Amino acid sequence: MARLELRDITKRFGRAVAVDRVSVEVTDGEFLTLLGPSGCGKTTTLRIIAGLVDPDEGEVLLDGKPVQHFPAHRRQTAMVFQSYALFPHMTVSENIGFGLRMRALSADLIQQRVGEALALVELEGLSDRFPRQLSGGQQQRVAVARAIVTRPKVLLFDEPLSNLDAKLRERLRLELRALQQRLGVTTVYVTHDQAEALALSDRVAVMFTGRIVEIGTPRQVYRTPRVRVTAEFLGVTNFLDGKVAAVADGHYIVQTPLGIVEADAALGVRVGEVVTLSFRPEDVRIGRYEGTAITGRVLHASYLGSVTDYVVESGGITLRVHEAGGSARGAGEEITITLPATAAIVRGE
């Protein structure tokens, strides 16, 4: 268990900048997720922490001490790979015990710890199988067991669930989170799946083009993103331009073409400034409630099971609206919607 710190990490591949001055601190036992589209530098950042890639600039610190001079095999990090990277010529227990053998532990101790790890991931009966005899989910668990058995200071995950089907992914997501909390190990998790990031993390760092553009709790980055790309990447959102009309009780009153919408306090926004608001489809309610109610026309409706997704047009502006359940409104229908009580002010183009 340890505190991990990245200071101004930069990595270039040829002319392309893969990681661009990334600085972040992960506290002891924290679960931090690096979330971003493919090619945003999140996996490279993870590999830099593991020592598998050397940064061009910047420092990695563990408990305040630089670890840059340690080669990968002495970093005390343990990584779960997207491909699982199980050794095909070793059995499950040999795979799990690999890290312990490398640390020259006694055979008895290795056997005991491998047994514990197997129990932890509920694979007791499979210790003598080879990886190719396991299902994808089982392989994933072996990879997790192999990583945690060495009791690393930092646990690293590189999209560990992306090769599994949706149902299994969801279950293993819960298991991973429970395991991490039980062990209390500092964890950095890389994914492009926003649902995974929100469900697992203490904090989410959103990465674009090699930079961390925003970092916060899952609630913060989802509900009150500060950057337009964050709002866009984390699910469906509505953008609405408006002018700040007044400040009241730490809230902004924003005049939009659709009417007044309140926004939460964002730093450094002045009265009279033109801002972009972001709010989620589920924040828009169908019907007339307190707040700004407008009428619109349904352009398109898609039934998604738990919600129905509407594209609503009003005054030349289209909004996405989610309604729980399935009161079927067809395309062309006139409806009244109430804009959300608060929205987030986002920056960037």
Q: State which of residues 59, 130, 291, 307 lies at the interface with another protein (CB under 8 A).
A: 130
Asked whether position 73 contacts another protein by CB under 8 A, the answer is: yes
- Contact (Cβ atoms closer than 8 angstroms) between residue 3 and residue 14: no
- Nearest-10 crossing angle of helices 107-120, 92-102: 130
Asked whether position 123 contacts another protein by CB under 8 A, the answer is: no
Q: Which two tokens stand for residue 68?
A: 């840059």
Distance CA 57, CA 67 (A): 14
Residue with token string 């340890």 = 2
Asked whether position 132 contacts another protein by CB under 8 A, the answer is: yes
- Contact (Cβ atoms closer than 8 angstroms) between residue 96 and residue 117: yes
Asked whether position 68 contacts another protein by CB under 8 A, the answer is: no
Asked whether position 144 contacts another protein by CB under 8 A, the answer is: no
Asked whether position 256 contacts another protein by CB under 8 A, the answer is: no
Q: State which of residues 45, 77, 238, 338 lies at the interface with another protein (CB under 8 A).
A: 77
Which is closer to another protein, CB of 157 or CB of 233? 157
Q: Which two tokens stand for residue 169?
A: 């992914």
Asked whether position 150 contacts another protein by CB under 8 A, the answer is: yes
Chain positions 34 to 63 lying near another protein, rule: CB under 8 A, are: 47, 50-52
- Contact (Cβ atoms closer than 8 angstroms) between residue 148 and residue 99: no
x/- site string to another protein, residues 185 to 204, per CB under 8 A?
Answer: --------------------
* Shortest separation between residue 152's beta carbon and another protein, angstroms: 9
Q: Would you call 87 helix, strand, or coil by DSSP?
A: coil
Q: How many residues bind another protein (CB under 8 A)?
A: 33
Distance CA 33, CA 85 (A): 21
Residue 177 exposure: Cα atoms within 13 Å on the Cβ side: 15
Which is closer to another protein, CB of 148 or CB of 197? 148
Residue 19 exposure: Cα atoms within 13 Å on the Cβ side: 27
Asked whether position 71 contacts another protein by CB under 8 A, the answer is: yes
Asked whether position 160 contacts another protein by CB under 8 A, the answer is: no
Torsion sign (Cα): 337, 340, 345, 349: negative
> Residue 125: CB partners within 8 Å, gap ≥ 6?
none
Asked whether position 298 contacts another protein by CB under 8 A, the answer is: no
Q: State which of residues 41, 99, 160, 296 lies at the interface with another protein (CB under 8 A).
A: 99
Q: Which two tokens stand for residue 62?
A: 């563990």
Asked whether position 103 contacts another protein by CB under 8 A, the answer is: yes
* Shortest separation between residue 121's beta carbon and another protein, angstroms: 16
Binding span for another protein by CB under 8 A among 77-85, 181-189, 212-220, 310-318: 77-85
Backbone angles phi, psi at 337, to 5 degrees: -125, 150
Binding span for another protein by CB under 8 A among 62-70, 95-103, 189-197, 281-289: 95-103
**Interface residues toward another protein, by CB under 8 A:** 47, 50-52, 71-75, 77-79, 81-89, 98-99, 101-103, 130-132, 136, 139, 146, 150
